[in-house]
Amino acid sequence: MPHSFDRRTILTGAAATGLAATLGLSRAGAQEAAGAGSLTTKTVPSSGVAVPVIGLGTWITFNVGDNADALAERTAVMQAFFEAGGGMIDSSPMYGSSQATIGHGLSQLGIPDTLFAADKVWTGSPSDGPAQIAETERLWGVPRLALMQVHNLVGWEGHLDTLAAMKAEGRIGHIGITTSHGRRHAEVAAIMESRPIDFVQLTYNMADREPEERLLPLAAERGIAVIANRPFRRGALIDTVAGQPLPAVAAEIGAETWPQFLLKYIVSHPALTVAIPATRRVDHLRENMAAATGPMPDASQRRQMALAFDNL
Amino acid sequence: MLADLSTYSLQDFLLFDAAIYRDLFAQINARAWPIAVVGIAAALACLALAAGQHRRASSASAALLAAAFATSAWLFFFGVYATINWAAIYPGWAFVAEAGLLLVASVVLGWSAQPRISVSTPRLLAGTAFALYGVIAHPLAGWLFGRAANGLEWFALAPDPTALVAIGLLAVTVPHRRLALPLVALPLLWLAASAMTLWLLETPAEALLLAAATLIGLVVLLLPARRPRENAVSDPLPGIRPAENAAVPRGLAATFLPTSPQGARTGRS
C-alpha cells in the first residue's frame, strides 16, 4: 500500500541542513533547531547528509519470523516512523529475521525519500562479506544501503577494506564500525584514529556515559558521525525510572516523559548524530520521535539531567 | 576475547521475545497438527504395550521416538525456530542425531532379548506417569500459563514434550540404564537449555516447571526397574535368566548387541 509522507517535514530537515552549512557550524554534530513539530536533524560530517536525531533500531523487536500479526504490527511502527519524518533504520544479519521484517514493511509502504538504511556485515570471514551484503540488500529490497558497518568489530580489517572499495564504487553511501555494551573501546578508538570511517556506533545512554570521556570527543575531532545504541539499556533504564517524578529540567527541554528525557540527553551531545531506540509499539515510537522535537538541553541542562539521574 | 565475552549476559544472546517464541508453536500446530494427533495416539499405544509387558514395547517406543525427534527437528528447529534464531540449526541437527540413535536402538532392541520392567515397580509406575505428563499434562499446563489453545506444545511437534515423553517411554521400556541414559542424554540437555531459555524470556513459572520436570525425569530413570529379588538373579544385565545371561556379551557390546536369537523369541525374563 503506497504511503504519502509528510513532505513538509522532509523539506524542513533539508532546509535546516543547508542553513547549518551556511552558518558554518562544526562538521561534527551540526545540529538543526527543530521548528514546532519537526524533527531535529544532524549532519553526517563526512557527507553533509542530514539525519533526524531519533532513528529506529530493530534488535529483538523486529525479529518476528513468519508471524503475520507481528509483521503487520512492525509495518505499522515503520509507517508511524516515516510519518513522523524518521530516517535511519538500523539492523544486522545477526538480528534473526529483522532484515526481512524491514523488507516486508518497505514492500508494503514503499521506500520513502527519508529512509537512511543502515545495516552491518557480520561474519568472521571477510571473503564472505560481499555475499552477505548482497543478501542484506535483497532482504531490505533497496538498491543501495546508506550505511554499512562492521558489526562488533568482527573481522573488521578485511571488512573495512571491502566496504571502502564498495563506497568508492558508489555501491554504499557510508561505512562504519560498531560496538556495544562498552566493549573494546580502546580498539574502537584506534580504528577511529587510523581508518577513514564515516560512522561509529556504540552504547551511550544516561547510565553508560563512558563514551563522553574519549570516544565522543574523538569522533568530533575526526569528523565521524556517532550512532547511540541501547539508549534504554534494553528497557532497563525505563524500569529504573518508573514511578519517579520527572526532574524540573524536563519542562525546560520539552521532555514530557522519562523516555523523552533519556533520549534528549543522548542526542543533545554535540558529537552524537542519532540514537536508535527499538520498539514494537506505535505509541512508544511516537513518544520516542517526540524527543527529536522541541528544545534540546544545553551543556548546563545536560549536567542537571545527569545529576538528577544519578541521584535517583 | 574471553574478557570480552564476560561482558555479555545470557540475555544478550536471546534474539527474540516471549510472544514471538510462543507463536512458533501456533505456526507448527497450524501446519502439522495431524502429526501431533498421530504421535499422541502412538505414544499412548506404546505405554499400553509397556504396561502389558509386550515384547515389542521397547523397539516400538524407540521407533516412535525416532520419528518424533525427526519431525520436531524438521518442523520446529528448521521450520520455524530458525526464522528467528540463526543458532537453532545446531539443536536441530542434535535432534536429527538423536533420531538416528533411537532408530539404531529400535533395531537393536527388536533383535535382542530385553528383560521387562516388572509390573508395579516404581520405574514402571513413575515412568508411565511421567510419559503421560509429557503427552497431556505438560502441553495443557501451557494453557494455564496463558498460552492460546492453538499455541500449545505437543509431542512430536514441539521439542519440550517430545523430550519429556522420550524420558518417560524409555524409562518404562528400556530397563538397562547403560542403554537408557545415553538415549536420554540429549533430551535432558535440551530440556535444561529450554528451561534456561524460558527463564531468560521472563516466563519464570514455565521455566521452573520444565526444570522441575527435567529433574523428576532424571530421578525416574534412576529408579529400579526390577524387584529386589529379580535384581539379585543375574549380572550384568539384571533380570535376564542365567541361561540367557551366559550368551550375553559384556561391556559396551552388552548394551547394543542382541543377546541371542533364541532369547529374543522367548520374551521371558
Residues of chain A contacting B, Cβ within 8 Å: 60-61, 63-67, 69-70, 94-97, 181-184, 234, 280
pLDDT of residue B177: 81
Q: What is the average pLDDT across A209-232?
A: 96
Within a domain: B269: no
- Structural domain of B215: 15-225
Place A14 in a pLDDT band, splitting at 50, 70 and 90.
very low
Q: Do the beta carbons of residue A227 and residue A201 sit within 8 Å?
A: yes
Contacts of A63 in chain B (CB under 8 A): 15-16, 20, 84
Place A32 in a pLDDT band, splitting at 50, 70 and 90.
low
Count how many domains chain B has: 1
Contact A94 B86 (CB under 8 A): yes
Helix (H, G, I), strand (E, B), or coil: what is residue A41? strand
Place A192 in a pLDDT band, splitting at 50, 70 and 90.
very high
pLDDT at A48 over 80: yes
pLDDT of residue B174: 87
Q: What is the average pLDDT across B121-125?
A: 86
Place B236 in a pLDDT band, splitting at 50, 70 and 90.
very low
Please name the residue of chain A whose CA is at the shortest distance from the CA of residue B8. A181
For A296, list phi and psi in degrees, rounded to 5. Answer: -105, 150
Percent of chain A with pLDDT over 70: 88
Bridge pairing between strands A88-90 and A41-43: unpaired
Contact A60 B16 (CB under 8 A): yes
pLDDT at A10 over 50: no
The residues with which A34 forms a beta bridge, in sequence order, are none
Contacts of A94 in chain B (CB under 8 A): 15, 86
Q: Do the beta carbons of residue A147 and residue A176 sit within 8 Å?
A: yes
pLDDT of residue B111: 77
Distance CA B178, CA A239 (A): 50
pLDDT tens digit sequence for A263-306: 999 999 999 999 999 999 999 999 999 999 999 999 999 999 99
Residue A51 CB coordination number (10 Å): 25
Residue type, A256: E
Say which of A65, A182, A280 has its CB closest to residue B84: A65
For B217, list phi and psi in degrees, rounded to 5. Answer: -60, -40
pLDDT of residue B53: 82
Nearest-Å Rg of the Cα atoms of chain A is 18
For A89, list phi and psi in degrees, rounded to 5. Answer: -115, 130
- Report the first-to-last Cα separation within chain B, whole angstroms: 57
Contact A96 B14 (CB under 8 A): no
pLDDT at A76 over 50: yes
pLDDT at A29 over 90: no
Say which of B8, B15, B23 has its CB closest to residue A95: B15
Please name the residue of chain A whose CA is at the shortest distance from the CA of residue B14. A60
Tally C-beta pairs within 8 A across A and B.
Answer: 50
Contacts of B8 in chain A (CB under 8 A): 181
Displacement of CA A66 from its chain's centroid (Å):
26
Q: What is the average pLDDT across B117-123?
A: 71
pLDDT at A17 over 90: no
Q: What is the average pLDDT across A37-61?
A: 94
Q: What is the average pLDDT across A15-40?
A: 49
Please name the residue of chain B whose CA is at the shortest distance from the CA of residue A181. B7
Q: Please give the residue that has the higher pLDDT: either A154 or A5.
A: A154
Contact B20 A95 (CB under 8 A): no
Q: What is the average pLDDT across B113-134?
A: 81
pLDDT at A131 over 70: yes
What distance in Å separates residue A53's CA from the closest CA in chain B?
25
Contact A95 B83 (CB under 8 A): no
Please name the residue of chain B whose CA is at the shortest distance from the CA of residue A64. B20
Within a domain: B252: no
pLDDT at B145 over 80: yes
Percent of chain B with pLDDT over 90: 61
Q: What is the ipTM of this complex?
A: 0.76
pLDDT at B44 over 70: yes
Within a domain: B199: yes
Distance CA B223, CA B217 (A): 10
Contacts of B17 in chain A (CB under 8 A): 60-61, 280
Please name the residue of chain B whose CA is at the shortest distance from the CA of residue A187. B4
pLDDT of residue B254: 38
pLDDT at A15 over 90: no
Say which of A67, A69, A184 has its CB closest to residue B4: A184
pLDDT tens digit sequence for A223-263: 999 999 999 998 899 999 998 999 999 999 999 999 999 99
Within a domain: B42: yes
Q: Which residue has the cell 517535514?
A: A9
Contact B7 A66 (CB under 8 A): no
Q: What is the average pLDDT across A12-20?
A: 37
Within a domain: B48: yes
Q: Domains, chain A, ranges and CATH? A: 41-310 (3.20.20.100)
Within a domain: B146: yes
Q: What is the average pLDDT across A41-67?
A: 96
Mean pLDDT of chain A: 89
Please name the residue of chain A whose CA is at the shortest distance from the CA of residue B83. A65
pLDDT of residue B196: 95
Write the Ramachandran bin of B129: left for phi over 0, alpha for psi from -120 to 50, otherwise beta: alpha
pLDDT of residue A181: 85
Place B95 in a pLDDT band, splitting at 50, 70 and 90.
very high
pLDDT of residue B5: 57
Contacts of A61 in chain B (CB under 8 A): 17
Within a domain: B238: no
Contact A181 B15 (CB under 8 A): no
Q: Which residue has the cell 554504499?
A: A172
pLDDT tens digit sequence for B162-212: 999 999 999 999 888 888 899 999 999 999 999 999 999 999 999 999 999
Mean pLDDT of chain B: 82
Residue ranges of alpha helices (H) inside B135-251 are 138-144, 159-173, 177-200, 204-222, 228-231, 242-245
Output the CA torsion B24→B30→B35→B37 (10° steps).
110
Q: What is the average pLDDT across A49-76?
A: 96
Of residues A169, A64, A163, the one with CA closest to residue A119: A163
Q: Do the beta carbons of residue B53 and residue B116 sit within 8 Å?
A: yes
pLDDT at A5 over 60: no
What distance in Å separates residue A240's CA from the closest CA in chain B?
17
Contact B7 A65 (CB under 8 A): no
pLDDT of residue B224: 80
Q: What is the average pLDDT across A91-97?
A: 94
What distance in Å separates residue A64's CA from the closest CA in chain B?
6
pLDDT at A33 over 60: no
Residue type, B124: L
Within a domain: B196: yes
| Test the B interface: residue of A60, A73, A132 with most B CBs within 10 Å | A60
pLDDT of residue A183: 85
Place B246 in a pLDDT band, splitting at 50, 70 and 90.
very low
pLDDT of residue B3: 53
Percent of chain A with pLDDT over 90: 83
